[in-house]
Amino acid sequence: MIELNINGRTQSVDAAPNTPLLYVLRDHLAMNGAKFGCGLGQCGACTVMVDGDAVFSCLTPISLLSGRKIKTVEGLGTIENPGPLQRAFIEEQAAQCGYCIAGMIMRAQALLEKNPSPSDAEIRRHMMPNLCRCGTHMRIFRAVRRAAQAMQAGATPAAGKGRA
Amino acid sequence: MNASDIGREAVSRRDFLAAGGALIVGFSLASSSRLFAQKPAAGRKLPGSLDANPMLDSWINIDADGSITVFTGKAELGQGVKTALIQIAAEQLYVQPQRVSLITADTRRTPDEGYTAGSNSMKDSGTAIMNAAAQVREILIARAAERLAVAADRLKVQDGAVVAEDGRRMGFGELVGDALTQTRAEAQSKLKDPATYTVVGKAMPRVDIPAKVAGGAAYVQDLRLPAMVHARVVRPPSYGARLRELRAAEVEKMPGVLKIVRDGSFIAVVAEREFEAILAMRSLAAAARWNERPTLPAAPDLFTHLQSLPADTIIDFDKQAPAGAAARRLAASYRRPYQMHGAIGPSCAVALFKDGALTVWTHSQGVYPLRKSIAEMLRLSEDRVQCIHVEGSGCYGHNAADDAGADAALIARAFPERPIRLQWMREQEHMWEPYGPAMLTSVKAALDGAGSIVAWEYEVTSNTHSMRPGGAGNLLPAWHLDTPFAPGTPKPIPLPEGGGDRNAIPLYRLPNARVVHRFVPAMPVRVSALRALGAYMNVFSIESFIDELAQAAGIDPVEFRLRHLDDARAREVVSLAASRFGWSSYAPAAGRGRGFAFARYKNLGAYLAVAMEVDVVRETGAVRVVRVVAAVDSGQAVNPDGIRNQIEGGIIQSASWTLHEAVEFDTTAIRSTDWSRYPILRFPEIPESVEVHVIDRPGEAFLGTGEAAQGPTAAAIANALAQASGARIRELPFDRKRVKAAIGV
């Protein structure tokens, strides 16, 4: 059994230590946010945060994660009570198929926690590892910028009024 | 996620299963063939998909409690169709959209509307639902008139009830009874006056987005049925490979492994956990020995090879009329490589084989054709197979969704009683999906002394653009079985829809024109429908060449297009895109240029014009789209923000195809096995702005929009690049190497 701290809660997981975090999240813990996209760290659909950094959960074995703080899109808010980034994505209608979106949100969250007022160029550069195939980039970009402004105006980036 | 949330999700998933899997809804699909026979021979066509599915209760159900359910045979692909169909039904029924639930493509529950493809959903299903909802409303009003003893024209419909002037009201649920049972739609509907619309034509937030941003169960990839296990397939290393030997004994002993499935060259593994299935898949792949053979053309000679293959010649258009004398003649030819759909989420399906019946949860674009094909592959009768659409990652046409459904079906039959979830790996998706075909076009035209086009000859060479599952032979795993199914015979898709020749006939006024489709049946590389089909290449070619003609005539390219366009709606999108872009006042900075393009999708869908500015870095050959302004006329706009989202996305996706994308292969195997060998557009390259102006046409027919931007975007980039660099590039994609070579760096 390995203990993982996910969205502020400790979860005991019965999985081989070399199991990438992605499969533990999806398969063992029945969480939907992180998605399988490539298993190669090329697309970012599986992006989650570990100790504040955006990481590819498809490449990160759980043996590296005990005692570290894992955050997924479920930790930012709920459908009923979305966090600032989730709210901004809804307000900008920043999804088509949406398969990449949870990963996009987590990469953006990592940016805004470190740099609450990124420039447009910084947002573009930071989001580079994550692919979107529907071409929703303009809306995703606007949603990140909108969330940054909303967070500046009041809420904290870690927000998630629902639960942390 | 805390425990109570997990519990709640589990409940909702069970409900989902109950609703999708077990519940048998008795309604009129079974009798559709009989009803078809009852259709009067010379009867009027019913609107949209009502014509093939004329029973009102196959589209709309109202329960005694007043709850409204709408059924569509179309599927949500991320294009927003669910939201738009709900808006349409709510509008005609005079209810809030929140009161309408929508059931999408399911072979037990919804009408058969074929494929969700060709930008036809609004035209087919939207039109059907609009008319069905209006007719249902009128039936309820008639019932209320009877029950309240008031003339129907003195009744109003308000928020799910029929209301009399004296204040008496009867809810839809009280009125409905058996009113919709076995009621056939009429050809004519009493539609609302579009001027009174309150829901249609207004931007409505998409119903599917909240779950997608908050980790809700939104995709077939997220489906977790009780006792579900995980499966992976091991694909051959190349198209021509056949399994020679498989030493599976060690793999059978691996942790979690439940079953190894082998049928000819089809190999799969079932395991308790997903990652166990992946590890076992890798070991199985290492334990497999294959006989490979070269089946692919040598890549540098691809276009020579394609041109040399036997072709059927189809004359699409041939017109001769008096015109001015030719003063100048121009000719050009264009090339497009194989390009992939490239879904971000590899294809996935869940299947359960139990008591001799199969259920497949799939992101296929056509659940009915898939059911037929899977039934044939498994030699089951169709009534033993149910296919239920659940969203997947965006597909952009016929990708591997159906193949994954077929894989899951084969595995479920070999491992019955428990649901199996099968997802493809990245390299499987990249190597085995059917690509958009490589194409060649050539065009010759003549201008008279005044700069008018007086002659036009166009030829397009292409494979088919649809190898969708019309039978087991079009399902990938069926080729690999011990008793294999041969791929179906490729066929051209006839105009006006068209396949390789979609949009091959220009909308411009051409006194003399000949358009020829050279249809190439042989397909060395697996191909099928990629968003816009041949329209992407034909519009790229035609609209590039129009700019070349304009330049030869010394006429501004927007003005040149307007001079050759008679259709008022075409002229309006062209003028609007040009004016909002600031076309006439544009002055390029160094390394910058502007480009323009126009098309009406399929010559019968949405009108779209696009103006853009691009930037070229001479030293690197890097091209970036800087600023885009598009104007689109989709007829009656249902959800204008949905239209904008589709067009913005189409522009960015087409920019990615146009600037970066070509499938690489050698004579034996596909070499674009992941995103490093098939790069697509990333964030640092996105434009500074993409503006989409929607021209709403209240009361006009819905015009297909989802694919309208693909062709014009490619041509506008080519035209802008020509101005920015002085180089006219006629072969896709405009990657750095090709651009540098073209500008002589």
Residue A128 and residue B687: Cβ atoms within 8 Å?
no
Residue B323: phi and psi, rounded to 5, are: -155, 170
Q: Which of B12, B213, B660 to mutate to test the interface with A (most CBs of A within 10 A)?
A: B213
Task: Give the E-state strand segments of B544-687 in sequence order.
Answer: 592-600, 607-617, 622-633
Q: What is the pLDDT of residue B99?
A: 96
Structure tokens at B466: 């649809």
| A141 has pLDDT over 60 | yes
| 8 A C-beta contact, residue B460 and residue B495 | no
Q: What is the pLDDT of residue B298?
A: 81
Structure tokens at B208: 């599917």
Q: Which residues contact B508 (CB under 8 A, 6 or more apart)?
A: B453, B546, B561, B564, B565
Q: What is the pLDDT of residue A156?
A: 55
Quick: pLDDT tens for B491-512.
999 999 999 999 999 999 999 9
For chain B positions 663-692, those within 8 Å of chain A (CB to CB) are: 674-676, 680-684, 686-687, 689-690
Q: What is the pLDDT of residue B636?
A: 97
Which residues of chain A does B674 touch, with a Cβ-Cβ cutoff of 8 Å? 38, 40, 42
Could you give the CA distance from residue B588 to residue A107 in angstroms, rounded to a whole number? Answer: 36
Q: What is the pLDDT of residue B265?
A: 98
Q: What is the pLDDT of residue B98?
A: 96
Could you give the CA distance from residue B254 to residue B251 in angstroms, rounded to a whole number? Answer: 5
For chain B positions 268-287, those within 8 Å of chain A (CB to CB) are: 273-275, 278
Which residues of chain A does B656 touch, with a Cβ-Cβ cutoff of 8 Å? 135
For chain A positions 52-71, those within 8 Å of chain B (CB to CB) are: none
Nearest to A86 among B206, B213, B222 (CB): B213
Could you give the CA distance from residue B517 to residue B500 in angstroms, rounded to a whole number? Answer: 7
Which residues of chain B does A100 touch, with a Cβ-Cβ cutoff of 8 Å? 344
Q: What is the pLDDT of residue B43?
A: 61
Confidence of residue A155 (pLDDT cuts 50, 70, 90): low
Q: Is the bond leading into B496 cis (omega within 30 degrees of zero)?
A: yes
Q: What is the pLDDT of residue B420?
A: 98
| A160 has pLDDT over 50 | no
A114 contact B CB<8A:
no
Q: Which residues contact B478 (CB under 8 A, 6 or more apart)?
A: B377, B406, B472, B484, B485
Q: What is the pLDDT of residue B503?
A: 98
Q: What is the pLDDT of residue B10?
A: 34
Nearest to A96 among B78, B221, B342 (CB): B78
Give helix then strand counts, H and E, for chain A. Answer: 5, 5
Q: What is the pLDDT of residue B26?
A: 30
| 8 A C-beta contact, residue B654 and residue B634 | no
As averages over each run of 10 residues, the pLDDT of chain B (745 residues) reads 34 34 32 33 79 97 97 96 97 97 97 95 96 98 96 96 97 95 94 97 96 96 98 97 97 98 98 98 98 88 94 98 95 98 98 98 98 98 98 98 98 98 98 98 98 98 96 98 97 96 98 98 97 98 98 98 98 98 96 98 98 97 98 97 98 98 96 98 98 97 96 98 97 98 92
DSSP 8-state symbol, B479: H
